[in-house]
Amino acid sequence: MSQKMESIPFLGEDGETVLFYVLEQTMVGGIRYLLVEEKDDPDETVYIMKEDPAGNEEAESGGDSDQMAFVFVEDEEELVSVMKVFEQLVDETDFVTDF
């Protein structure tokens, strides 16, 4: 995957900010999902993140309504389902699960 879209910062569990490139996005069941790749990842490992309504409410109450909160999709069934959608959207990518 060589085409990169916008980049988004993600706050990791250790408190450090990691930069991800948004490769593709889609809506499933009213939830926005992102297919992202970590900046400068030589293995081109991709991750699926979803919009976090609870995190968005926190951002809005803090006065910054332009920020969206996203979390990694951890539920295996949800991940497989959304991965199938991204496989259709991104033609030249072979997805391999690691869970």
Q: Report pLDDT digits (tens) over 13-54.
A: 788 888 888 889 999 999 999 999 887 777 778 889 999 877
Q: Report pLDDT digits (tens) over 59-91.
A: 444 445 456 788 899 999 999 999 989 988 887
Give the number of residues written for the chain. Answer: 99
Residue 48 near residue 79 (C-beta atoms within 8 A): yes
Q: What is the residue extent of each domain of the chain?
A: 7-89
Name 51's bridge partners: 70
- Among residues 66, 79, 92, the alpha carbon closest in space to that of 28 is found at 79
pTM, entire model: 0.72
